[in-house]
Amino acid sequence: MAEQTAPPVIRGDGTAPKSDAAVVRDALGVGVAVGLSGFAFGVTSAGAGLTLLQTCALSLLVFTGASQFALVGALAAGGNPFTAAAGAFFLGTRNAFYGLRLSQLLALRRSVRPFAAQWVIDETTAVALAQPNRRAARLGFTVTGLTLYVLWNVTTLLGALGAEAIGDTAAWGLDAAGPAVFLALLAPMLKSTTERATAALAVLLGLGLLPVLPAGVPVLAAALAAPAVLWFRGRQAEGRSKEDAR
DSSP 155-210: HHHHHHHHHHHH--HHHHTGGGHHHHHHHHHHGGG--SHHHHHHHHHHHHHHHHHT
Residues 102/141, Cβ–Cβ less than 8 Å: yes
Return the half-sphere exposure (C-beta side, CA atoms, 13 A cut-off) of residue 4.
3
Q: Collect all residues with Cβ–Cβ distance below 8 Å to 215 and sequence separation of at least 6.
A: 73, 74, 75, 77, 78, 79, 80, 83, 84
Average pLDDT by consecutive 10-residue portion of the chain (246 residues)?
Answer: 41 60 92 87 86 93 85 78 79 86 92 92 91 93 96 94 70 60 66 82 80 69 80 78 69
Q: How far apart are CA 120 and CA 196, in angstroms?
A: 24
- Please report the pLDDT score of residue 135 as a whole number: 93
Model confidence over 191-238: pLDDT tens digits? 788 888 888 888 888 778 777 776 667 766 777 777 888 888 887 777
Catalogue the E-assigned strands of the chain.
none
Predicted structure pTM score: 0.69
Q: How far apart are CA 71 and CA 74, in angstroms?
A: 5
CA 78 from chain centre, in angstroms, equals: 25
Alpha helices in 107-133 (DSSP H): 113-117, 122-129
